[in-house]
Amino acid sequence: MEQKPAQKEIRVFQMVEQKQENLDVRSINFEPADGKPMFQFKPGQFAQLSRTLEGGAKEVRFYSLASSPYNAKGFTLIYKLKGSFTNFMNAMKKGDKVEVMGPMGHLAFDEGIHRKVVLFAGGVGIATMISIVRYIIGRKLNVPIILFYSSRTLDEIALKNELDGIAKKNRNFKVIYTVTREDPEKLKGWKGIYSRRVDGQMLRENIAKPDEWSYFVSGRTQMAVDMANAIKVLGVGQDKIKVEGYG
């Protein structure tokens, strides 16, 4: 994830709610503490969060905005419990505050340009893609969406109920789950789940006329690079592929 913030205003936000999404992933909602409107952002962008440590040093982290910017009063993050900053967020109570600067990032959906989108998420990279999905569905845009969501195990799939509900109600939305380290016995009875990494064959099976789509990739750096290369093999130009890697 690019970590070169522009000179934007640092504002104080307060935590309003958080909940467990799976065994080790949580979502957390923030709203402005100053009473001013939420800053404007595009689906797929991220923000800088910071806190002041004892002694005055700043701890800074970057998180994708998981909420839709449509009629947004605040924003949602999705995080995995790992490290001091996520432990700090996990311990936050309603009304606790954090400094925020944003938005940032080039992996942004633009309804004037992107008419059909294929989204790739690995792990907590789903935060970036659910923002795009929530925006398109919330605005009732006529934009077909195919989401490939890769996790290590079934238990690590976050937001599955929401994604399945959207797919059930919207013919323009298709979600394809892949798991890479699951016990084959646990997959018995599950439909529509691949037990391997996303590959060229999987893309060809699910994407008709691949050169007509715009592609968004978010996940760990190596996964993001591998996916971008697999997309190019389908004959898709680099100008139609947006990639954001982290970790």
Per mean pLDDT, which range of 25-29, 135-139, 190-194, 202-206 is the poorest? 190-194
Element (H, E) at 132: helix 126-138
Map 87-123 to HEC letters.
HHHHCCCCCCEEEEEEEECCCCCCCCCCCCEEEEEEH
Look up residue 63 and give its two tokens.
């998180």
Per mean pLDDT, which range of 8-12, 184-188, 200-204 is the poorest? 184-188
In which residue are the tokens 């789950």 written? 177
Say if residue 30 is in the same domain as residue 129.
no
Give the per-residue pLDDT at 8: 80
- What are the pLDDT digits (tens) for 169-197? 999 999 999 999 998 888 877 777 999 98
In a domain, 233, yes or no: yes
Q: What are phi and psi of 33, to 5 degrees?
A: -90, -10
Say if residue 240 is in the same domain as residue 184.
yes
**Which residues, other chains included, contact 83 with Cβ-Cβ below 8 Å and sequence gap of 6+?**
none
Mean pLDDT of the chain: 92
What are the angstrom distances between the C-alpha of 186 and each of 38, 182, 218?
Answer: 43, 7, 27
Angle at alpha carbon of residue 191, lines to 188 and 193, rounded to 5°: 90
pLDDT bracket for residue 36 (50, 70, 90): very high
- What are the pLDDT digits (tens) for 63-78? 999 999 998 999 999 9
Say if residue 174 is in the same domain as residue 225.
yes
What are the angstrom distances between the C-alpha of 55 and each of 34, 49, 96, 100, 121?
Answer: 25, 18, 20, 20, 38
- What are the pLDDT digits (tens) for 143-174? 999 999 999 999 999 999 999 999 999 999 99
In a domain, 134, yes or no: yes
Per mean pLDDT, which range of 2-11, 54-63, 134-143, 180-189 is the poorest? 2-11
User: Residue 135, SS3?
Assistant: helix
Peptide bond preceding 103: is omega within 30 degrees of 0, i.e. cis? Answer: yes
Give the per-residue pLDDT at 5: 43
In a domain, 178, yes or no: yes
Question: Domain limits at 193?
Answer: 117-246
Domain count, the chain: 2
In a domain, 112, yes or no: no
CATH number where 222 lies: 3.40.50.80
Give the per-residue pLDDT at 7: 55
Say if residue 137 is in the same domain as residue 98.
no
